[in-house]
Amino acid sequence: MRQAAQLVDVARSKLMASLAGLVLVGFVIVHMLGNLQVFEGSDAINGYASVLRDMPIFLWTARAGLLTAVVVHVGLTVRLALRNRQGRPVPYTLRRYRAASVASRTMALTGSLLLMFIVFHLLHLTVGIIDPAAPHGMDAQGRMDVYGKIIHAFRNPLYVGIYVGGQLVLGLHLSHAVSSVFQTWGIAHAALDRLFKLAGPGVALFVVLGNLAIIFAVFLGWVRT
C-alpha cells in the first residue's frame, strides 16, 4: 500500500514538473521571438518593451507565473532526483549509456548551469547590475532604450562568450526535456514516436539559432545603432 502511494506521488510530481517545464519552454520561445525584433531596429524592440511595461498587471502576473513555474519545476526535479538516489544508495560500478543521449545524461548539470545563467541574464540585461557602463537612458520617444542595451552588451566578447555558452546549455536541456514530456504523459504511438523524439531537438534548435542570430548579428556589426 505504501509503495503504491509512493508510485502515485512520483507520477504526480513528474506530471507537475513537466507542466511547469512546458510553461517555461513557451516563455523561452516567446522571449526569443520578441527579441528578434532587434533586426527591425530600435523603434520596434523599444516599442515592444514599452507595451509590456505599460501593462503592469499583465507584466507582473506573467513574472509571478514564471517564478512559480521555475520554483515548481526546480523543486520537484530536485526532489525526484533525491528520491531516486535514495532508492538506489549503492552507485553502479559500471554505467552503460547505450540508449541514453548526452542531453538526457546531463539534465541535472545543464539544469543547474541554466539556472545560474538565468540569474546572470536578469542581473545583466534586466536589472543592469552586472554592467554599470551599459546605457540606461531613454530613446527619442521617451521609452527605455532596450535596443541600446542589447547593442552594448553583445559588442563585448566576454558577454558574447557567456551568452553563447548559455545557449548551448539551453539547447541541450531543451532537447531532452521537450521530448521526455510525451513519455511522462504516457503518450506513445508507433507512427508518432519518431516525431516525438525529434520535437525536443527541433524546439532546441529553433530557440538557440534565433538567440545566436541576435548575438552574432550585433557582435559582427550587422545590427548597429
- 3-class secondary-structure state, position 138: strand
pLDDT at res. 222: 93
Residues 167-200 pLDDT 10s: 999 999 999 888 888 777 777 666 667 787 888 9
Number of structural domains the chain divides into: 1
End-to-end CA distance of the chain: 66
3-state DSSP call for residue 33? helix
Quick check: is 224 in a domain? no
Any domain includes 161: yes
CB atoms within 10 A of CB 49: 19
| Residue 172's CATH number | 1.20.1300
What is the pLDDT, as a whole number, of residue 99? 55
Beta strands in the chain (DSSP E): none
pLDDT above 50: residue 65: yes
Residues paired with 144 in a beta bridge: 138
Q: Does residue 225 lie within any of the structural domains?
A: no
Give the residue-averaged pLDDT of 146-173: 95
pLDDT band at 58 (very low <50, low <70, confident <90, very high): confident
Inside any domain, residue 94:
no
Least confident of 26-35, 110-119, 129-138, 210-219: 129-138
For 183-218, b where at least 16 C-beta lie within 10 A, e where not — what string? eeeeeeeeeeeeebeebbbebbeebbebbbbbbebb
Residue 130 located in a structural domain: yes
Q: Please give the Cα distance from 93 to 62 (Å, whole number).
A: 46
Distance of CA 211 to the CA centre of its chain: 11
* Residue 66: exposure state from Cβ atoms within 10 A (0-12, 13-18, ≥19): middle
Query: Which of 23, 122, 131, 121 minimizes the C-alpha distance to 72?
Result: 23
Angle (nearest 5°) at CA 30 between 36 and 32: 35
Q: What is the pLDDT of residues 73-126, one digit of tens each?
A: 999 898 888 887 776 554 544 444 445 678 778 888 999 999 999 999 999 998
Q: Each residue of 9-45: pLDDT tens digit?
A: 777 888 898 899 999 999 999 999 999 999 999 999 9
The set of cell numbers assigned to 20 is 511547469
Q: Can you give the pLDDT at residue 11?
A: 76
- Nearest-5° Cα angle at 96, 90 to 102: 110
Q: What is the pLDDT, as a whole number, of residue 83?
A: 80
Sign of CA dihedral 46, 48, 54, 58: negative
Instruction: Quote the domain boundaries for residue 163.
Output: 2-89+99-219
Strand partners, 138: 144
